[in-house]
Structure 1
Amino acid sequence: MPSLSEVISCLSGYDPNAVPVAQAQQIIRDVVAPVQAVEKVAIRSALDRVLAQDIVSPINVPQNDNSAMDGYAVCGGDLDTNGPTVLKVVGTVHAGGRFDGAVNQGECIRIMTGAPMPARCDTVVPQEFTEAANATAVTIPAGVVKTGDNRRLQGEDLMAGKPALFKGKCLRPADLGLLASLGFAEVPVQRRLRVAFFSTGDELRSIGEPLDAGCVYDSNRYTLYGMLTRLGCDIVDMGVIRDDPSSLEQAFRTACENADAVITSGGVSVGEADYTKQMMATLGDVTFWKIGMRPGRPMAFGKISSNGRSAYLFGLPGNPVAVMVTFYFFARQALLRMMGADDTPLPLMRAVSESAIRKKPGRTEYQRGILTVGEDGLQRVRITGAQGSGILRSMSEANCMVVLHHEQGSVNAGDPVDVLLFEGLV
């Protein structure tokens, strides 16, 4: 992968003091490389892990044509289209069994869901569509089925030799069931990504410590813990690091030597201690951005090294909401790419804004919102209130983020806006 300096040197109009969101995201994507290590795990342990190679089906699913309903297996050509058809019942077949006898014209088989279709039979008549059914005969009214109805074809779900799951997929419950249906007990997955994180600032206190005047409890490590856990990372919580050059250098070196990525909160804003930025830059190829966004304007990104080990660095702002926004729209996608996972941008949906929102073109804004569905069936969103980057309560109350794009201006009440749902994300 190219270095950060090489990527930036190829950009026209690049200004670290005015970086559009899309440009910053692309730079990060161009620099970050996936971790290569692979391991095999039992499928019960594979939930939320990233698939390391394509899974090819060794069998047809289903293995035979089979019935999709409880009813009667017939030959569609035997059914009278002008009136009822009376067929002789010559056998019964259950799921897990099979009928190897002949089914001649005017005959049918009583069949259960999942049972293999007998030879010559190509249609299943659901039992609720029949009349005068008994152990020896059944009457089928005209027009209740068409030839081929209620039959599952061999290989309809998966054909032997065809890919069932693709490399990079984050395995979900349905995928575990699919793997089991193919007979796989184990699956190759990417190694879990190891992420170290810490907060910086003399004013921060960990929960359980006395809160001195002018100090605040460190909430950022707990939101980072939650977001990283949701991504399935192995995490190293290094606590609060004081604004001291030697302590910061030791923290950066320890994090770098023991993790694939390092995430910090605080220390990258205008007015922050200069040696924090100097420390980041001294240890590697790091750039400091003022991104055209709100909240979360200051951010650092790059790669740092220590004692032959290297790690990607994400220096996030210190304000709680800004930490979450920059994580979701920058760090999250990069970490997924490092995990070898599909890093497709998060999907947005449209909703009607219940109120006017003031905005100037030239920066991307992320406002916390509450999405509801009105009596008319339309999805509507309202802002949670004050949108200060330190108001963490607004993130707790919200169920979505209203995304106001770089080129977008003010929004009128009733205008459609893009919305990112928190469900499944936070």
Structure 2
Amino acid sequence: MAQLSDDCFAFGGDLMPVDAALDSLRTRVVPVTGTEAVGLADALGRILAEDLTAPFDVPPHANSAVDGYAVFFDDLAADAPTRLPVTGRVAAGHPLGRAGRRGEAVRIFTGAPMPDGFDTVLMQEDCRTDGDAVLIPPGIKRGANRRAAGEDVRAGSVVLTAGRRLRPEDVGLAASLGRRTLTVRRPLRVAVFSTGDEVREPGAPLEPGCIYDANRFALMASLRQLGCAVTDLGILPDRLDAVRGALERAAAAHDVLITSGGMSTGEEDHVKAAVESLGSLHFWRLAIKPGRPVALGQAGGTAFVGLPGNPVAVMVTFLRVARPILLRLMGAAAEEPNLFSVRAGFAYKKKAGRREYVRARLARGDDGRPTALKHPRDGAGILSSMVESDGLVELPEDLTRLEPGAAVAFLPFSEVR
């Protein structure tokens, strides 16, 4: 079960700034327990559960960075070509078997271990052979084209820290240390559901007044991309007993329950009553657009997240609010997505005291600088605007008017996926 401190979602009163809400959550939400060992092929996207320390240097031996000739630098003339006999050959995986000797050169190939003593490598393109000897031009620097042992990783150093969400390069680095498995956090178990008599499964007949359930599928895709183990509870009927029963069963086997919409206080909105009957629920009114109403609470010992009903508001609040909560529950180290300074290609007015996210795509200006172009349709129900955008322009609480050409913070979708 998700480990949540008492009243961890109890926020009320005036609209809460986004940063204040996230700071509070970071201190109150405790990661779930449980780890498992997985093979490297299955480690991508998982949360590392323990520090990974290098047991040896990488590379474990000095080696050549090029195809060429290994020599002693002190054997080379400073202002004239040097002729040295070629007395051996070293290829990757095939050491010379002895130390180098002064006054000789050995043929060496990229990645091959440097014999002891040799400190410099000449590229073959810069040399000329003369029978069993090589002619080396002057001007090379001492240590050229020689990679040192431990140049990549030093023995005893921590190369990956616990809480890291593993990327392809992390998996490759673990492999370079000889690891076949890694200890990671178990996947966060998340149950997703929708409610509403107007909501239909994609592909089903669409009666007048009904809509297809886009939010649930967008949420499940976002959760799987985050590395969660997702259970689809489908569309629950608009009956309190049915909603309560489904949530009670799901809470017993999951860490998080998540939905969108249906969280008002109307007599047909049963999710609120169902969650409260199983635990506690608090409405968290964020100073954010699109978004604002986010319901957070607990059904038994299981966290509950209720997002807004409009598709764009669902996506924005998932990326900026739910995602940090889920990562914290997953045991991930705090990771703030990178926002990049770009030029605004549009004018905009907004209310003070509210953070707003504007959908935009990037284009190159005449001077080559990236410019954010606002999507022409900005309704909270226009999901196609997310598809046709590259990310979100983040406008801070104290801004009320944006002029074209001003610098703005841009959050690429790639930073939160």
TM-score (ref. length: structure 2): 0.94
Q: Deviations over 1:162-206 (max 9, x none)?
A: 222221122222222222222212111111111001112222111
Answering whether residue 288 of structure 2 is matched by residue 293 of structure 1, we say yes
Please, which of 341, 346, 350 is the counterpart of residue 332 of structure 2?
341
Residue type of the alignment partner of 1:329 = R
Q: Does 1:138 align with 2:134?
A: yes
User: Is 2:72–2:118's contact at 8 Å kept on the other side of the alignment?
Assistant: yes
1:118 and 2:115 are equivalent in the alignment: yes
* In the alignment, structure 1 residue 249 sits paired with structure 2 residue 244: yes
Match of 1:316 in 2: 307
Q: CA deviation at 1:135?
A: 5.0
For structure 2, the residue ranges without an aligned partner over 5 or more in a row are: none
- Aligned-pair CA distance for 1:334: 1.2
Say if 2:33 is the partner of 1:66: no
Q: Does 1:383 align with 2:385?
A: no
User: Match of 2:47, SS?
Assistant: coil
Contact 1:38/1:190 (<8 A) preserved: yes
Separation in 1 of the partners of 2:338 and 2:36? 30
| SS of aligned partner of 1:391 | coil
Alpha-carbon distance in 2 for matches of 1:325, 1:246: 31
Moved more, 40-49 or 208-217: 208-217
Q: Which residue of 1 aligns with 2:405?
A: 414
**Alignment match, 2:320:** 329
Residues 254-285 of structure 1, C-alpha deviations (whole Å, 9 max, x = no match): 22112101101112247574643233233223
- The answer to whether structure 1 residue 3 and structure 2 residue 39 are counterparts is no
Please give the alpha-carbon distance, in whole angstroms, between the structure 1 residues aligned to 2:246 and 2:376.
37
Aligned-pair CA distance for 1:424: 5.7
**Letter aligned with residue 319 of structure 1:** N
Aligned counterparts of 1:379 and 1:214: Cα–Cα separation in 2: 42
Judged with a 3 Å threshold, the aligned counterparts in structure 2 of structure 1 residues 269 and 148 are, in CA distance, closer, same or farther, namely farther
2:285/2:292 contact within 8 Å kept: yes
Q: 1:76 to 1:285 in 2, by over 3 A?
A: farther
**Could you say what secondary structure the match of 2:15 adopts?**
coil
Distance in 1 (CA, whole Å) between partners of 2:126 and 2:398 is 59
CA drift of 1:7 comes to 7.7
- Consecutive unaligned residues of structure 1, counting only runs of 5 or more, are 9-13
Identity score, percent:
43
Q: How does 1:17-416 map to 2 (within 5 A)?
A: 17-130=14-127, 132-134=128-130, 136-143=132-139, 145-269=140-264, 273=268, 275-305=270-300, 310-416=301-407
C-alpha separation in 2, matches of 1:397 and 1:60: 47
Whether the 8 Å contact between 1:16 and 1:288 is mirrored in structure 2 is no
Which digits, 9 at most, give the CA deviation of each residue in 1:71-102, with x for residues without a partner?
A: 11111222222222222212111111122445
Deviation at 1:295, TM superposition (A): 0.6
Post-superposition shift, 1:68?
0.9
Q: Which moved more, 1:102-111 or 1:215-224?
A: 102-111
Structure 2 vs 1, CA of residues 61 and 83 (structure 1 numbering), >3 Å: closer, same or farther?
same
Q: 3-state DSSP class of the match of 2:159?
A: strand
Call closer, same or farther: CA 1:272–1:293 in 2, change over 3 Å: farther
Alignment CA distance shift 1:375-1:150 (3 Å): farther
Paired residues, number: 415
SS at match of 1:133: strand
Q: Note the alpha carbon deviations across 1:228-269, whole angstroms, 9 max, x for none.
A: 111111101111123321122112212211210110111224
C-alpha distance in 2 between matches for 1:228 and 1:43: 21
The letter of the residue matching 2:103 is G
Contact preservation (8 Å) 2:8, 2:29: no
Q: Distance in 2 between matches of 1:255 and 1:389?
A: 30
The 1:6/1:416 distance shift into structure 2, 3 A limit, reads closer
Give the Cα–Cα distance (whole angstroms) in 2 for the partners of residues 295 and 135 of structure 1: 76
1:19-68 deviations in Å (ceiling 9; x for gaps): 11112212322222111201111111112111111122222211111111
In structure 1, what residue type is equivalent to 2:92?
Answer: A
Measure, in 1, the Cα distance between the counterparts of 2:14 and 2:204. 37
What is the CA-CA distance between 1:221 and the residue it aligns to?
0.8
**Preserved CA contact (<8 Å) 1:89 1:135:** no
Cα pair 2:238 2:269 within 8 Å, conserved: no
- Aligned mates of 1:285, 1:149 — CA distance in 2: 67
CA distance in 2, matches of 1:112, 1:135: 19
Q: CA RMSD in A?
A: 1.9
Query: Could you list the per-position Cα deviations for residues 321-375 of structure 1 after superposition, in whole angstroms to 9, with x for gaps in the alignment?
Result: 1111111111111111111123312110111111111112210101111112234
Distance verdict in 2 for CA 1:274–1:209, change over 3 Å: closer
Q: After the TM superposition, which of the residue ranges 282-291 and 327-336 deviates more from structure 2?
A: 282-291
